[in-house]
Structure 1
Amino acid sequence: MSSLLVITGLQVSVQAGETRPEQSFSRHYKSELDVGNGGRWGSWGQRKMCPTGTYAAGFSLMVEDPIEGDDTALNGIRLHCIDKASNSHHDYASVQSDVGSWGRWTDIKWCPFGFLTDFQSTFKCSRGSFLLGDGTHWGNWGDWGDWGDWSQTCEGKEICGIKAQVEEPQGFGDDTALNDVRMFCCN
Structure 2
Amino acid sequence: MAIKISLVIFSFFSIGYGRLNPSIINIANGGPWGEWGPLQECNQGHVAKKFSIKIRESEIDKTGLNGIRLYCSDYNNTREVSTIKSSESRNGDWSLPYSCESGYFNSFSLRVESYQGKLYDDKAATNIKFRCSGKGEVEGPGFTWGSYGPWSQTCQYGICGIMTKIERLFSFFSLDHTGLNDVQFHCCPRWGQ
TM over 0.5: yes
Distance 2:167 2:45 in 1: 32
Tell me the amino acid that sits aligned with residue 75 of structure 2. K
1:130 — aligned with what? Answer: 137
1:98 — aligned with what? Answer: 87
What is the RMSD of the two structures over their aligned residues, measured on CA atoms?
Answer: 1.5
Distance 2:145 2:63 in 1: 13
- Residues 116-152 of structure 1: CA distance to partner in whole angstroms, max 9, x if unpaired? 000003111101121111112x336xxxxx3111111
Q: Return the structure number with greater relative CO, CA threshold 8 A, min gap 6.
A: 1
Distance 1:147 1:170 in 2: 28
> Given the two structures, how large is their TM-score scaled by the length of structure 1?
0.75
- Deviation of the 1:107 alpha carbon: 0.3
Gaps in structure 1 of 5+ consecutive residues: 1-28, 141-145
SS at match of 1:119: strand
- Residues 88-127 of structure 1: CA distance to partner in whole angstroms, max 9, x if unpaired? 22x4210000001200000000112110000003111101
1:56 — aligned with what? Answer: 48
Which has the larger share of helix? 2
In the TM superposition, 1:99-178 aligns within 5 A as 99-120=88-109, 121-136=128-143, 138-139=144-145, 146-154=147-155, 156-171=156-171, 172-178=174-180
1:82 to 73, 81, 84: 73
Say whether the 8 Å CA contact 1:49–1:95 is kept in structure 2: yes
Equivalent pairs: percent with the same residue? Answer: 37
The number of residue pairs the alignment matches comes to 149
Distance 2:158 2:148 in 1: 22
2:59 — aligned with what? Answer: 68
Say whether the 8 Å CA contact 1:107–1:134 is kept in structure 2: no
2:32 to 40, 65, 68: 40
Gaps in structure 2 of 5+ consecutive residues: 1-20, 110-127
Distance 2:151 2:22 in 1: 19
Which has the larger share of strand? 2
> Given the two structures, how large is their TM-score scaled by the length of structure 2?
0.73
Q: Which runs of 4+ in 1 moved over 6 A?
A: none
Larger Rg: 2
